[in-house]
């Protein structure tokens, strides 16, 4: 089978690492994927398209598995940390990691889920209810001597990049950074977090109705993990006349349903929306940036 990177993966890697660095790895990707499939003696049914923004995924016949090939990266967010988180969850609320003996590369062998069916296929109220039930299961004590960075460490790196935003964004950036400083000042709970939890990261499964995929794991407080979920379907929120009031009600409803402090969820929602908006602006994704920053202005 020809392993060709989906366009979304090509665009995302170009934004994250630069076109030259992305092209180098993408050029090797067909050979890497073919080698992984051959070594595991898998028969590939299809390559997932559009797939993810950081890896090539394929589904296999017979074994009902999914093979993901990601970049071998030594930085904070990489396949080694995703593997460690999935191994610790061991299928509890998340996709089951298989073949844990492959501990050294950018390869993940996972149980096969229904990649075409995520929580975004449900009506919004039902999707948020199922999302809350799923993410609750992921919030567990991290393993001893874990390799994950903390929320404070990750957001400190992000804050550096945010300070380089243009003057037109200065008021929102300053508000977001102030919220971040306030949230990280006291020592809070240190639970294992998904790190990128949203409706599109929860897929239908056979073993369980809904399972989380694609973590960008770290440790910290639950409010940080829940903040990305608040702005799901942001395009619908922006299009709605009462978008600001709907957003505030969503913050309160999610916080109350998961026993999370409303003010802390509000603060992290603001920070994460502005950080994503600044990053989208820098990448030239101006429509995404506009939506995110308008959303952030409501908070």
Please check whether residue 197 is in contact with residue 226, taking contact to mean a CB–CB distance below 8 angstroms: yes
Comma-separated ranges of CATH 3.90.1200.10 domains in the chain: 118-297
The model's confidence at residue 70, banded by pLDDT at 50, 70 and 90, is low
Fold of 7-116: Phosphorylase Kinase; domain 1 (3.30.200)
Note the CATH architecture for domain 118-297.
Alpha-Beta Complex (3.90)
Which range has the top average pLDDT, 73-82, 181-190, 198-207?
Answer: 198-207
Count of CB atoms within 10 A of residue 172's CB? 21
pLDDT by residue (tens digit) across 7-58?
555 455 545 544 555 566 566 566 666 666 666 656 566 565 555 444 444 4
Comma-separated ranges of CATH 3.30.200 domains in the chain: 7-116
CA proximity to 140, closest of 103, 182, 86, 101 = 86
Beta-strand relationship, 44-47 and 55-60: antiparallel
Given CA atoms 121, 123, 124, 127 in this order, what sign does their dihedral have? negative
Mean pLDDT, residues 95-105 taken together? 68
Residue 121 pLDDT exceeds 90: yes
Compute the mean pLDDT over every residue in the chain, rounded to the nearest whole number: 82
Q: What CA dihedral angle connects 227, 265, 273 and 202, to 10 degrees?
A: 10
46 compared with 93, residue with greater pLDDT: 93
**Dist. CA 253–CA 140, nearest whole Å:** 22
The model's confidence at residue 265, banded by pLDDT at 50, 70 and 90, is very high
């Amino acid at each position: 089978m020809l392993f060709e990177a989906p366009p979304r993966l090509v665009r995302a890697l170009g934004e994250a690492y630069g076109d030259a660095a992305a092209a180098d790895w993408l050029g090797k990707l067909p050979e890497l994927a073919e080698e992984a499939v051959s070594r595991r003696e898998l028969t590939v049914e299809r390559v997932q398209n559009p797939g993810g923004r950081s890896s090539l995924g394929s589904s296999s016949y017979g074994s009902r598995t999914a093979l993901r090939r990601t970049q071998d990266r030594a930085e904070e967010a990489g396949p080694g940390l995703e593997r460690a988180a999935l191994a610790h969850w061991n299928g509890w609320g998340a996709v089951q990691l298989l073949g844990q003996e492959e501990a050294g590369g950018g390869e993940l062998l996972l149980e096969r889920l229904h990649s075409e069916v995520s929580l975004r296929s449900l009506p919004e109220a039902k999707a948020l209810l199922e999302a809350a039930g799923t993410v609750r299961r992921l919030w567990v004590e991290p393993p001893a001597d874990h390799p994950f960075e903390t929320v404070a460490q990750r957001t400190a790196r992000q804050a550096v990049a945010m300070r380089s935003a243009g003057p037109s964004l200065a008021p929102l950036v300053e508000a977001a950074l102030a919220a971040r400083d306030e949230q990280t000042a006291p020592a809070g709970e240190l639970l294992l977090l998904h790190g990128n939890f949203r409706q599109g990261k929860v897929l239908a499964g056979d073993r369980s109705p809904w399972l989380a995929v694609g973590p960008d794991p770290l440790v910290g407080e639950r409010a940080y993990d829940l903040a990305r979920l608040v702005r799901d379907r942001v395009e619908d929120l922006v299009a709605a006349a009462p978008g600001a009031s709907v957003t505030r009600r969503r913050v309160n409803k999610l916080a109350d349903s998961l026993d999370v402090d409303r003010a802390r969820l509000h603060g992290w929602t603001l920070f994460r929306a502005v950080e994503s908006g600044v990053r989208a602006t820098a990448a030239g994704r101006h429509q995404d940036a506009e939506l995110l920053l308008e959303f952030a202005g409501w908070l």
